[in-house]
Structure 1
Amino acid sequence: MPTSQPDESQPSQDRATPDRLLHTRTGTEVSPEDVVLVTGRDITPRNLEWARRKLAEEGPAAIEKLLP
């Protein structure tokens, strides 16, 4: 009786995600709304202002610093 073998063409669920897939930069602009949403906060005038300041200080890389 043949035993079932896992399909080796499928990625294993127990492996870590490669670093190249974890970065968010896609060549598009990062908006204050993006920064607010990545923190899990609601889009409010106060949070948008915080995100604008963060982007002004750190540039688009600010979103990378917020992601795990």
Structure 2
Amino acid sequence: MEGSLNVIGYGIAALGPGIGVGLVFAAYIQATARQPESASLTRVYMFMGFAVIEALALLGLVLAFALA
């Protein structure tokens, strides 16, 4: 029963980064639609935000296995 609780915990923890990635890409698409000439400038910030959010998701995965 303990192993399945870790999996459920990680599933719940993965909701945050999933929503965060969606918000980052939605903000980039909206910024590019409003000012297409700034797409190359905002692309850097999009990838930085994506990397930070995915690092948090990987941290949750590592903790799920470390606490097992």
Give the TM-score taking structure 2 as reference length. 0.24
Q: Max radius of gyration: which structure?
A: 1
Structure ranking higher on relative contact order (CA contacts 8 Å, 6+ apart)? 2
Higher fraction of helix: 2
